[in-house]
Chain A
Amino acid sequence: MPRPDRFRLGAGWVGAGAVAATGAVSALLLIVGGYDPFEAAGAALGGAFGSADAFLSVTLVRSIPLMLTGLAVAFAFRAGVWNIGAEGQLLAGAIAAAWVGLVGRALPAWLLLPMLLALAAFAGALWALVPALMKVRLGVGEVITTLLMSFVAIELTAFVVRGPLQEPRGVFPQTEAIAAGARLPALVPGTRLHLGVVLAVVAAVAVAWLFRQTKLGFRMRAVGASPEAARMAGKIDTGPVTLVAFLGSGALAGLAGGVQVAGVTYALYEGYSPGWGYTAIAVALLAALDPLWVLATALLFGALEAGAAAMQRDAGIPAVWAVAVQALLILAVLALDQMRRRANAGSAGV
């Protein structure tokens, strides 16, 4: 797996270069498909950044689950735990959040909301506990187990919205809307931007602090960078550190699920996540596993998705084309970032 290698995405010309290269290739693709690339670009930019409302209500709101799951992935990966199951942990958190939000109607908001978020995080951690124990106790690689747990979580979600948590009419596979007191308040009145973004930023700062300053964070990084050296030179018991990485990661992903339920959808549905937990891997790796950079890369992916949706709506680009352009954009960003890194490394590349 890639090693953390800090870099700065924002560095001036990378951004400019990415836009140029992407523009060229995507434009070509759109022209071949019979669409107007300029209209598409206008729509995408407008949809992502065109107005304060587009940015706050759409781009930023879309990036919140990516921020939190991105942090979850970075948290685990930094400790050498390849948790690719943030998706399932997010769903576990969403299920717990929906449950709290439904049964806790009688509780006051100041109690209900924190409870909802805490339980969502707890559920996410619990979902990560299975692969964690399989890894620590049985030595079973987590890449496959976390993935499998995600598939199970998808079916579990489908089950609970038809079974225990189904709306009272018993017809629709979804829950009732959660209590008003269980919802995250708007951060900027009049927009859809909810308090979850503050939570994400606080979490990022906390994780960054953990990694940079604390004993635990140091141990996690050491185990992640070299378990052998951590044991031999650091006298670190890798088992507990690995467990913490799993549970913390699961908790962050679970929190993401809770925040989505409490801040955006207010109810749980089948097919709840479009794959936030998987996109999160790209978000975290593009940020070189740096928690603060995760905020930025999540925003980038949020903007990409917002732009793709706006392209459909406002420029008549079919969803499939919008997705293809999105893929191209990611590749372009990657390629340019890579070239910039090589240039920075001078002649160090062999």
Chain B
Amino acid sequence: MSEAELELFLQASVRLGAPLALAALGEAVTERAGVINIGLEGAIIAGALGGALGALAFESGGAGVLAGALAGGIVALVFAAFAVGLGTDQIITGTAVTLGGLGLTGAVYQARFGATGTALTLPTLAPVRLPLLADIPLIGDALFAQAPTTYLAYALAPALWYFFFRTEWGLELRAVGEQPDAAAAAGVRVRRVRLLATLLGGTLAGVAGAHLALAHAGTFAENMSAGRGFIAIAVVALGRWNPPWVLLAALFFGAASALQYLLQALGLDLPYQLFLAIPYLLTLAALAGWLGRARAPAALATPWPPPR
């Protein structure tokens, strides 16, 4: 492998990891509050479409990101209205929200651009080279010549860590995810915390979708989220619900995905399905080897107040 290829591999790792990181960091907040939002996939695809429409309307990638964030937040609001407000089962609600997100984005897309789709070319979110950092050999370009949304992910990891473990709000959030009854007894507004955590998660998933459309693909296609919402949920667990680890896990997953393209480009004569399975196999190996024994928030997926 040449150095150029290695460098490209690293760049691809970060490119593929960034949307996962954004969505997973948001989901980490949601899950720390005891809510598992399986509807993340729906929020990502909504973010992608919102990003595309916003970028077109305002002719600006930045506006697109904001629109994508809003779209993801709206999807999360629907989820929260049912799962947090009404206390419906989070898994079923999330399933429905993903289904609805994929369906409605398709419907809106077709209504706007015709039933047979169109070749959307979007104003993109151009990479920004960070001075000095981007000049670091090998990893400089990969890490520090990326779209602004990638830097958002970098910044969120320590910021969320601080929030979780160094603020009283974070303490309340964690308590709500572990023992909502105890949190409520201490005067914490459990449902409000859960609502806000879910909204933040959806908003970041929306940013992840906008990033996919504007910083990565430069277009929108139906189903272009391609299961990243579910991968992000796995990434949260892989990162043990701890933001810096979640970021690393997302980048690890990005690298494992990038590896498949690298290996295919190298022309190894193996069935390509093997390459496609690499990210999952590597993650399994990582879990078995040294990343196991993570403990989820105890009240994850438990409605509050409890149904009894």
Touch test A–B (CB under 8 Å): yes
Q: How far is the CA of A158 from the CA of B102 in the complex (A)?
A: 24
Cβ of B141 within 8 Å of any chain A Cβ, yes or no, is no
Q: Which residue of B lies closest to A131 (CB)?
A: B284
Known: A134-B287, A138-B288, A320-B222. A327 touches B234 (CB 8 A): no
B280 CB within 8 Å of chain A: yes
Residues of chain A in range 17-68 having any CB-CB distance to chain B below 8 Å: 33-34
Report if A330 contacts B (CB, 8 A): yes
CB distance from B261 to the nearest CB of A (A): 15
- Range for the number of chain A residues in contact with chain B: 35 or more
Contact call A144/B277, Cβ cutoff below 8 A: no
Instruction: Tell me which of A2, A325, A337 has the highest count of chain B C-beta atoms within 10 A of its own C-beta.
Output: A2
User: Do residues A331 and B107 form an inter-chain contact, with CB atoms below 8 A?
Assistant: no
Find chain A residues with CB under 8 A from B306 CB.
3
Do the beta carbons of A140 and B287 come within 8 Å of each other?
yes
**Residue A313, interface by CB 8 Å:** no
Q: Does A341 contact B (CB under 8 A)?
A: yes
Find out whether the CB atom of B99 lies under 8 angstroms from the CB atom of A140: no
- Interface majority SS on A: helix, strand, loop or mixed? helix
A339's nearest neighbour on chain B, judged by CB, is B86
Q: Find out whether the CB atom of A5 lies under 8 angstroms from the CB atom of B284.
A: no
Q: Please, which residue of chain B has its CB at the minimum distance from the CB of A279? A: B95
Query: B278 — nearest CB in chain A belongs to which residue?
Result: A155
**C-alpha gap A345/B306 in the complex (Å):** 11
Binds B, one of A145-153, A181-189, A216-224, A260-268: A145-153
The answer, among A140, A318, A338, A345, for a CB contact under 8 Å with B88, is: A338
Q: Does residue B44 face the partner (Cβ distance < 8 Å to A)? A: no
Q: Which of B102, B237, B281 contacts A141 (CB 8 A)?
A: B237
> Which of B96, B296, B302 is close to A2, meaning CB atoms less than 8 Å apart?
B302
B127 within 8 A of A: no
Evaluate contact between A326 and B99: CB separation under 8 angstroms.
Answer: yes
Interface flag for B104 (CB, 8 Å): yes
CB within 8 Å of A: which residues of B?
A: 82, 86-89, 91-93, 95-97, 99-100, 102-107, 110-111, 115, 222, 230, 233-234, 237-238, 271, 273-274, 276-277, 279-281, 283-284, 287-288, 291-296, 300-303, 305-308
8 pairs of A and B residues whose beta carbons are closest in the complex = A320-B106, A327-B100, A323-B103, A324-B103, A140-B292, A330-B96, A327-B99, A155-B277
A-B contact pairs, 23 of them (CB 8 A): A3-B308, A5-B308, A33-B107, A134-B292, A144-B234, A148-B284, A151-B280, A158-B273, A159-B274, A163-B271, A281-B91, A282-B91, A286-B89, A320-B104, A323-B99, A323-B100, A323-B106, A324-B107, A326-B99, A330-B96, A334-B89, A334-B96, A338-B86
